[in-house]
Amino acid sequence: MLVLGIDPGSRHTGYGLIEVADDGEAVEEYGVMHLDDLDTHELRLKAIYDRVLDLIERCKPDECAIEMPVYGRNPQSMLKLGRAQAAAMLPLLNRGLPVTQYTPKEVKKAVTGNGNATKKQVWYMVRSILTITPDDPELGLDASDALAVALCHAHRHTGADDAGSHYSDWSSFARSNPDRIS
């Protein structure tokens, strides 16, 4: 099964595609849609829609997962983030793809075992789980967040409550995986 994960943002939208099989998950593709060069919020929303549509037509995912905005200090920023999420969801829904939403805490807990993990901790665990080399310049925080969303969905889909059911904390992961720690 191919799972597309999306971390929506009005200036940078991360995406990650993973293959989910009985023996685990493998990364297929990931990246970031940079939207800073577009002058207005409306043009950025259209670009998100168009680029997600291109992505799903090219990669043909089976299911999609998206991080949902749940809190923020600035109402205007939350409104823009919600619109970016909608712009990313519409092409998926228009193509009849199932879309599941996850909160940031759900995603962090599924990947790190800690719902309050930092973006850097998520980045590290995504790299470890999917065996992505640490020197890959394409795996920034937006792309790793999108891959984390896809992994969260994969863990839920396969019946595991979350990745935290395998490791109770960072120490237990490190003890179980000394070859994956640098």
> 31-50 in b/e burial notation, b at 16+ Cβ within 10 A?
bbbebeebeeeeebbebbbe
- Compute the Cα dihedral for 114, 139, 145, 156 and give only its sign: negative
Q: How many CA atoms lie within 13 A of 165 on its CB side?
A: 8
The conformation of residue 98, written as its DSSP 8-state character, comes to -
Catalytic center residues: 7, 67, 142
